[in-house]
Amino acid sequence: AQSVTQPDIHITVSEGASLELRCNYSYGATPYLFWYVQSPGQGLQLLLKYFSGDTLVQGIKGFEAEFKRSQSSFNLRKPSVHWSDAAEYFCAVAGGSYIPTFGRGTSLIVHP
């Protein structure tokens, strides 16, 4: 079975500060991993994905994520947060089933 945990329900950062959102997955082999962002009242938008190769992947909007097999993690990072990054962020894993399982999400609050 596949599962994903996002340990932080809310994260608050100041505009211009760096950001790291945590994601831990459970799956026996290398899974397919995704990060999505959801703005209020909208659907989810794919930020980036990983399934093989370089463990540091670049995505849209200046985001990147690093796959660490030893820690079963796929944390999302951004060096400098903008107020427009305030949203809900979801990590997802697709392992044995190609239907992805989503985490419960992390709400990002950006202070001016």
Partner 1 sequence: KAGVTQTPRYLIKTRGQQVTLSCSPISGHRSVSWYQQTPGQGLQFLFEYFSETQRNKGNFPGRFSGRQFSNSRSEMNVSTLELGDSALYLCASSREGRKEDGYTFGSGTRLTVV
- Applying CB under 8 A, which residues contact partner 1? 32, 34, 36, 41-46, 49, 51, 90, 94, 97-105
Residue 61 Cβ vs partner 1, minimum distance, rounded to whole Å = 15
Residue 57 Cβ vs partner 1, minimum distance, rounded to whole Å = 12
Nearer to partner 1, 69 or 111 (CB): 69
DSSP string, 8-61: -SEEEEETTS-EEE--EEE-SS--EEEEEEE-TTS-EEEEEEESSS-SEEE-GG
Q: Cα–chain-centroid distance for residue 51?
A: 14
Residue 25 Cβ vs partner 1, minimum distance, rounded to whole Å = 13
Tokens 């990590």 belong to which residue?
91
Nearer to partner 1, 9 or 112 (CB): 9
